[in-house]
Structure 1
Amino acid sequence: MRNLFAFIYRFRAFLVFLLLEALCVFLIVRYNTYQGAAFFNSASRYVGQVLEFQSGVTDYFRLTGINQTLASENAALRQELMQYRLAALTDSTAALDTTYFAPTDSSVAYPYHLMAGRVINNSVRRMNNYLTISKGTADGVQPGMGVVAPEGVVGRVKTVSEHYATVTSLLHSQMLISAKLTKDETFGTIKWQGGDYRTALLDYIPLHVKPEEGDTVVTSGFNTVFPEGIMIGTISSVEQESDKSFYTIGVRLSVDFAQLSYVYVVENTYRQERDTLEQNAGIITDEQ
């Protein structure tokens, strides 16, 4: 306190000058219309710039929360879109046989739910690649659930902790995905054989089918992991080898695995029932 008084006493003349200047400015602005309007317009502009800068800084530090909110909203919208797709398939089935299946039947309830999660670790250069996401058992994630991105299929949940989960990427030598061509419903198997992380192979497409470059490949729905019709990629090459009864088809993957940020975990509420039934019947498949 003593130092403060010493400072004020030392610079008393300068401080009195500043006080008088401030008083003069106040009187001029207060009692002169033109100067008052000019002052307040200038002050509003500078205050607006300061507030805009402050808002930008605040928004920057809120980006993580904003992105998570948007991802959750996108998950809900994507789930609704897939529900409409299932309803369309149901209606087409019902049109063929309205005696045994009605479009309004309660058994047609959509079994898939999506949960948005952020990718916190990822690899694309290995032979067996994995992801880590910020969702775990506390969010309802369980091993075996499918994982998709806005652009298409990503992989399958491998292990889970309370708040995190590892995902076996489509870019894994042991990952097989049941797929089909949209133009004629011919189904095969997608497998990645290493190398380019944007290209995989579509196996088991018979020679009587006529696949072409640009044809769309989607999930077949022949499992409990992925809903039918999720994008996988487009055909980039077709080769017919004389010693094989199937085509060798290259597929350009729709997902850029090097740019993954947010993904959606797919929960199938009917999965346990169907898996149990197929296991009891001795039906075993490695395709997902």
Structure 2
Amino acid sequence: MDRIEAMAVFIAVVDEGSLSAAGRRLQMPLPTVSRKLADLEAHLGVRLMNRSTRQMTLTDAGRDYLIASREILDRVAEAERTAIGGNMNPRGELVIAAPLVFGRYHVLPVIKELLSQSDDVNVRLVLSDTNANLLEENIDVAVRIGALPDSGLTARQVGEITRVVCASPAYLEQHGTPKTPSDLRNHECVTFTGLSSPHAWSFVGAKGTTRVPIRSRLTVNTADAAVAAATSDLGITRVLCYQAASQFAQRSLVRLLREYEPTPSPVNLLYANQGRLPAKTRCFLALAANRLAHVLRASE
């Protein structure tokens, strides 16, 4: 049995969702696909997929073997490119995960640069404020904000961010500028529910952490909406510093209460490092580390 070919057949069946679709992708007769999958399971001594007339689902062993198979085939392809002098030419699909706003504002420009440099690379960008499992979801690189659990993955810190309080110059001219967190009791606030409570905000001071009651005239569920509302003079808002970086640069928002800001959170590029990384991953990491370090310094 050609185990490399068997792995490729297994991956195609998983990706396409059926034996017949995998056969069309591989230009291989359906009986051959079925036989190769059966031979692979017999060789391993485990069932990789549960098959019924309606669907195919991976077993626990199948999920583990799928991850390993993808990694092995990537390394084989990388070795072949190295042998023919193509080591510096990245290719293949690169899967990147990032938080919604951060990904849109800061990761997309990195991807644009990568695509302009590498004609043989395709990128799938997954934007979500929930943390994906890199191994289970076949993600090459994830941008993570905050402390990282001990996962066995490799992390490269590219900067730090913190929560900031801000308002428009016009709002402050009309309502005054708060000097301490307790002054917020007399102001109208715009709350981004993904970051703060609409009833009270926490601050760090000489006496430790305190919660200050606020009046949320507007509550929104995205940082974009909170920044837009504050820029439109609707009140004081609280977001992550990078989410309002362009408004600070344009002076359409003013950063407030800086001495009460919490300890910054790290921003990391997270990836599995089990040997030599594919060229596509190395190129993205190099571009992302440089650009993100620059934009995060600018937002401090």
Normalized against structure 2, the TM-score is what? Answer: 0.22
Greater fraction of residues in helix: 2
Which has the bigger relative contact order, CA under 8 A and spacing at least 6?
2
TM-score by length of 1: 0.22
